[in-house]
Chain A
């Protein structure tokens, strides 16, 4: 337990060291979550549109001309 409290104290620099690590992790995790959510949202939108327009999925351009 002594080691743990020593680690937490960071030799008196705890209020500088821990916010640095905490903020870094928070920003990186936050960016990841936002990016993943955006991808899922876009994929859901695309799936909804594609199911709404049957038969216009793949070679739609050639089908239009025919």
Chain B
């Protein structure tokens, strides 16, 4: 792990991996969409509305996966002070928030025709809504400090405390009598879903995961470049050179 926590090495590795992750994400999601829309049957109870599953379920998986990753990276950042861990957690938060929002809205769009309601305050939906607010709180906390290091540290603690919510989401459908159905893929005894539906679901799930890696690398590169920019500006100020406005070349610098 230490090898990849080196920003220079990460920049080189991610530059090489970016085109591959981009291509793989697009191919996997395209295949998943094709199978989900054309290559899989309608459900005998739910009819065509079951196709919402192919975007809803992978989004919900990613909502929890991203949070777990963010909490793990925050822990590594707090304990071992890896230079990239905190930045990786910060780069993950908006991606996780987007997936959580998608899980909530597509769930609502699925719930209306199937359950007759857009929303119900049951344990699964409420705990996912809490997850969404945890992401927003994390992002807000990072930006609440002038000193980026302090913001990252405070947000990392929030991410770790909030991690208690992840098992609650996962097991909410077993612990409480929820309107939401229990797990049918990741459960003891194997998936209880037909292969023709499982294939597009897994393709979308893997596609979303690779998409996450793609966006994570882009955002992490942005954080590293932004940190370099901050360091250069600081040096500029210390050396007494005139501060340059954002993105501008100072007068006479090229002459």
Contacts and interface: CB of A to CB of B under 8 A. Distances in A.
Contacts of B241: 53
Interface stretch (B135-143, B169-177, B226-234): B226-234
Given A42-B225, A43-B225, A49-B233, A35 B52 contact: no
A27 B58 CA distance: 14
A32 B229 CA distance: 22
Q: Is the interface of A mostly helix, strand, loop or mixed?
A: helix
A56 to B, nearest CB: 7
A31 B95 contact: yes
B229 A46 contact: yes
A11 B42 contact: yes
Interface residues of B, number: 47
Interface string B31-45: 001000110001000
B105 to A, nearest CB: 6
B244 interface: yes
Contact of A46 (B59, B101, B228): B228
A45 interface: yes
A52 B244 CA distance: 9
A24 B55 contact: yes
Interface stretch (B108-116, B120-128, B151-159, B178-186): B108-116
A24 B49 contact: no
A56 B214 CA distance: 32
A48 B49 contact: no
Interface in A1-16: 7, 10-13, 16
B247 interface: yes
Interface stretch (B160-168, B188-196, B216-224): B216-224
A66 interface: no
A46 B232 contact: yes
Contacts of A51: 249, 253-254
B7 interface: no
B42 A27 contact: no
Given A43-B225, A49-B229, A31 B249 contact: no
Given A46-B229, A51-B254, 4 more contacts: A10-B49, A32-B214, A49-B229, A52-B244
Interface of B: 33, 37-38, 42, 47-49, 51-52, 55-56, 59, 94-95, 98, 101-102, 105-106, 109-110, 112-113, 211, 214-215, 218-219, 221-222, 225-226, 228-229, 232-233, 235-236, 241, 244, 246-250, 253-254
